[in-house]
Amino acid sequence: MHDVLPVAWIMLGAVVVVLLVCCANAGSLFLARTAAREQEFAIRAALGAGKRRILRQTLTEGLLVSLVSAVVGCILAEALLRIFIALAPDGLSFLRKATLDLRILVATLVVAVACGIACGLLPVLGLRSVGIAARSAQPSNRPKLRRILVVAQIASSAVLLSGAVLLLRSLNNIDRQDLGVNSNHVLTVSASLSPRRYNTTEKRIDFFRRAIAALRGIPGVTSVAITDSLPPNGTRYWYSSMAIAGKPPLSSEDIVSARAVTTDYFNALGIRIVRGRGFSDADAKSTEHLMVINQKLAALMFPDQDPLGQQIRPEKDGPSYRVIGIAADVRNDGLTQQTLPEYDTLLGAIPDEWTDRNTYAGTLVIRSALSTKTAAPWIRQRVEEIDPLIPIELHSMQAEISTLANRPRFETVLLGFFAATGLLMASIGLYGATAYTATRRTHEIGIRIALGATQIDVLRLIMLEGLRLVFLGGGSFVCVAVLLALIAIAAIFVPAMRAMRVEPMVALRYE
């Protein structure tokens, strides 16, 4: 659940930004509507209505609109929640528990009331407390406030779009990253052995050995192996539980990944052996405890020594294993985390190696030149010939890896949806502000045309008014980029100036 909280906070932030954009949009539209009703307010004031009476009217209108919007929003939220739950990958089981409970409804009511009060107060801010009936020629601050709200909407939408683009780039990096394995033409078969029927280690060993022999006989199959876990996942252990033979236990808070495999594991997944060798058929018949470690664990445990031939004790009370090879680093902590130090032990002739692992649910890794559709019937037939009662799940490894990317892909879609919603709301606000400006300046535009202005001149006038708001909204990011560039230039300039003043003789005498 700990990895869910950052995503939840990001999504909550996106929702808050969209809410602020919508509130600013509503406030801008209320201001425009109030400006068009100046004559109405003047008549009401002339008939005896005071500022409080007009305030009550605008508050009533604002609250009515916001409450109706809240009801419609709750209906849309329930519909969208069902759609998101239907589209959510299996890794987001917490989303399936989400409901619009009483807390959500109360929070929605509070926000709606606050937004309604704000929208009711904004129009009255431009009215004077004295002489409200007079349509004074004094400029109002409402147009300026509308522009500020539109600029705020555009800036907020730019924040959401930037976040969506960054998530999209991260997703692209996840899809293109090197996992350290060659998953092409690799099939995985998960076999669940019955604890009642396979109640001894010998029975489980016999089943998997017969399965390996049977699957190797399928045309096109080049490698078959067994593992208790598949990259890019692994089984975690504390690094502090490990020790180098003859030395005290290691003191570190790091985590290591452990995997138990058979001899063809590295060939089946195309994992490169950097130094030494992988497991062989002769090793499978030996009673010696052997181990292959990855490059990261080799650098961590033996920074100044040759790891090959070293004896490592993975558990305090367990046997020591001789390191026979160093494998290239392979993703073993998901697609988004850093690769952990890892060691692989051999499932061979030592029964304890099978007993210590969960061999009731082993995974067969098969490298085949055949497609999944072609090889699947052969594989099922060979397993059923050994035991027709064993349930198996057959997948291509590429599909398994793609499934792991479903969660960040879904999160990107969610944030993209919020960014698109914020952009739509900002566009509506910009349209409303521009349309209002064009309408209010009809008299001015008529005079300009009478004095010789062309339609292109009028188009340029209104377009520049709207584009100025757009550039003001997006200009905040440009300012940040310029500020960062100036700071970087200053940081580079100071040492560069120092280097420029170095005397040749002083430099020649240096060290």
Q: Mean pLDDT of all residues in the chain? A: 81
**pLDDT at residue 2 is higher than 70:** no
376 plus 413 within the same structural domain:
no
| Residue-level pLDDT at 137 | 43
Residue 279's pLDDT band (cuts 50, 70, 90): very high
Percent of the chain with pLDDT over 90: 22
150 plus 208 within the same structural domain:
no
Residue 290: φ, ψ to 5°: -120, 155
Q: How far is CA 497 from CA 244, 493, 501, in A?
A: 51, 6, 6
Percent of the chain with pLDDT over 70: 85
**Would 510 be classed as within a structural domain?**
yes
Average pLDDT for 421-431? 80
Range scoring the smallest mean pLDDT among 83-92, 252-261, 328-337: 83-92
**Would 400 be classed as within a structural domain?**
no
Pairing type for strands 290-294 and 321-327 reads: parallel
Residue 232's pLDDT band (cuts 50, 70, 90): confident
pLDDT in tens, 280-308: 989 988 889 999 999 999 998 888 889 99
Q: Which amino acid is at 237?
A: Y
201 plus 344 within the same structural domain:
yes
d(CA 355, CA 333): 24
Q: Greater confidence, 158 or 83?
A: 83
Cα of 68 vs its chain's centroid, Å: 34
123 plus 204 within the same structural domain:
no
What's the token pair of residue 413?
A: 């879609």
What's the token pair of residue 475?
A: 């200009």
Q: Greater confidence, 474 or 130?
A: 474
d(CA 204, CA 198): 6
Please give the tally of structural domains in the chain. Answer: 3
Scanning the structure block, which residue is given the tokens 């099939």? 187
Among 98, 114, 105, residue whose Cα is nearest residue 8: 98
Average pLDDT for 505-510? 54
Among 145, 123, 143, residue whose Cα is nearest residue 132: 123
Cα of 20 vs its chain's centroid, Å: 23
User: Do the beta carbons of residue 224 and residue 189 sit within 8 Å?
Assistant: no
pLDDT in tens, 454-485: 888 888 888 887 777 777 766 666 676 676 67
340 plus 258 within the same structural domain:
yes
**pLDDT at residue 126 is higher than 60:** no
Highest-scoring range by mean pLDDT, 149-153, 317-321, 434-438: 317-321
246 plus 313 within the same structural domain:
yes
| N residues, the chain | 511
Residue 113's pLDDT band (cuts 50, 70, 90): very high
| Residue-level pLDDT at 135 | 46
Cα of 75 vs its chain's centroid, Å: 27
**Would 399 be classed as within a structural domain?**
no
Highest-scoring range by mean pLDDT, 140-144, 290-294, 491-495: 290-294
Alpha helix locations (H) across 217-321? 265-269, 281-285, 295-301
| Residue-level pLDDT at 131 | 46
Average pLDDT for 179-194? 89
d(CA 208, CA 348): 11
**Would 479 be classed as within a structural domain?**
yes
Residue 501's pLDDT band (cuts 50, 70, 90): low
DSSP string, 251-271: ----EEEEEEE-TTHHHHHT-
Residues of the domain holding 157: 4-177+406-440
**Would 186 be classed as within a structural domain?**
no
Q: Greater confidence, 183 or 506?
A: 183
Return the half-sphere exposure (C-beta side, CA atoms, 13 A cut-off) of residue 449. Answer: 11
385 plus 417 within the same structural domain:
no
**Would 187 be classed as within a structural domain?**
no
| Residue-level pLDDT at 493 | 66
d(CA 207, CA 386): 7
| Residue-level pLDDT at 250 | 67
DSSP string, 460-508: HHHHHHHHHHHHHHHHHHHHHHHHHHHHHHHHHHHHHHHHHT--HHHHH
| Residue-level pLDDT at 327 | 96
**Would 188 be classed as within a structural domain?**
no
Average pLDDT for 303-332? 90
| 342: Cβ contacts below 8 Å, ≥ 6 apart | 234, 256, 257, 258, 259, 293, 294, 296, 297, 329, 330, 332
DSSP assignment letter at 3 = T
**Would 217 be classed as within a structural domain?**
yes
24 plus 94 within the same structural domain:
yes
d(CA 132, CA 340): 72
374 plus 257 within the same structural domain:
yes
Return the half-sphere exposure (C-beta side, CA atoms, 13 A cut-off) of residue 343. Answer: 28
218 plus 149 within the same structural domain:
no
352 plus 219 within the same structural domain:
yes
pLDDT in tens, 436-446: 777 777 788 88
232 plus 323 within the same structural domain:
yes
Among 123, 158, 190, residue whose Cα is nearest residue 383: 190
